[in-house]
Amino acid sequence: MAREDFQRVKELVAASRRILVSGHISPDGDSLGCMLAIARMLTAAGHEAFATADVNAIGKLSFLEGCDAIIPVRRLKGKKFDLFIAVDNSSFDRMPPEVRPVAEKLPKICIDHHITNDGTFGDVQIVDPAASSAAEIVWRLAKWMEWPLDRATAEALWVGMITDTGRFAYDSTSPATLRAAGDILKHGVRTALINDIIYGTFPRKAMELKRLAWRSLHIWKNRRVAEVSLTRDDFRSVRGTKAEAEDIIEIPRSVAHNEIALFFYQIPDRTKETRCSIRTRGDWDATLLAAKFGGGGHKKAAGCTIKAPIGVAKRQMRKAVKDMLYPPKKTQAAEPKPPQPEPKQQPEGTPEADKQ
């Protein structure tokens, strides 16, 4: 069920001069697009609004206008703000760690569409799990707030929508999604150029990481489950980043008859933890797997961080997958028999006693 307190958002924004906007770690198109769009619209409305992210994790999305104005998370310390807006995320645990000490004491607005959002993050919630993307919700908020869109803002929202809907191919695409997309297109979005940058061309490092991922392909459970992995050394060998491995999950997902696809990877600058991207088909719920390790997302696309080296993480996730495919049979304890009355002792010499 949607939780949308637009009026309260309007009040908090009106009372704030400097506003910080953040998404999740390793921002994808939806997270980054929403950050840039909100910061741009707030700035046009007379506020000092800034997006923050790990700029080294943006990758090819850096073509979006406004990326050069992003505050690197490592430079947040000491900066003062009046309001914090979290987009496409509902937990400090999923944000860059540098964000928390700056934002946790500020009034907070949460704009999100993940089904695992429990409503506990933020003073105001703009959350709709039925929305295709956070970008769809930001567009909805912009229309309510009467914030005008220009081409750069529209392109940021367009990137958010196409990346989270698989170019409008996923089940999350609704008539409302296409109405929002149609309105966004009115502002001169360069659709062919954007499609070519995101889906048509790949830098050498991304191709090298794909090659390494293909080598790790492991298919099991009669092709129902497929997985690939990239170790810390793999990233270092090509000097690559997670941004250049964004679509590697499509390798196991492309296996015929695949129902559960897994991508395990280790960020070079983090130790003793493994991240896992999860994609599912059919009735399998990816969030059930992610939630076992403190993660979340959507029914068909989720992710988590496993606090273990990659070998251990694989074993733990494989067990979780097997338990989901073949739930352990519940052994029913045998019902205790009701106590039997002791046979009455018959006096010796009676007919009943003689029969024993």
CB 72 within 8 Å of CB 123: no
How do residues 133-145 score in pLDDT, each as one tens digit?
999 999 999 999 9
CA–chain centroid gap for 176, Å, is 21
Q: Region 165-182: what's the mean pLDDT?
A: 95
Strand stretches in 48-189, DSSP E:
48-53, 71-72, 83-87, 108-112, 124-127
How do residues 43-96 score in pLDDT, each as one tens digit?
999 999 999 999 988 989 999 999 999 999 999 999 999 999 999 998 898 899
The radius of gyration of the chain from alpha carbons, rounded to an integer in Å, stands at 26
- All structural domains of the chain, each given as residue ranges with its CATH number in brackets, are 3-198 (3.90.1640.10), 204-325 (3.10.310.30)
pLDDT (0 to 100) of residue 147: 95
Instruction: Please tell me which residue, 268 or 244, carries the higher pLDDT value.
Output: 244
**In this model, does residue 334 exceed pLDDT 80?**
no
The reported pTM is: 0.83
Which residues are CB-neighbours of 350 under 8 A, at least 6 positions away?
Answer: none
**In this model, does residue 181 exceed pLDDT 60?**
yes
**Percentage, residues of the chain above pLDDT 90:** 77
Cβ contacts of 170-179, under 8 Å, gap ≥ 24: 170/132, 170/300, 171/300, 172/131, 172/132, 172/133, 172/298, 173/132, 174/130, 174/132, 176/131, 176/136, 177/131, 177/132, 177/133, 177/136
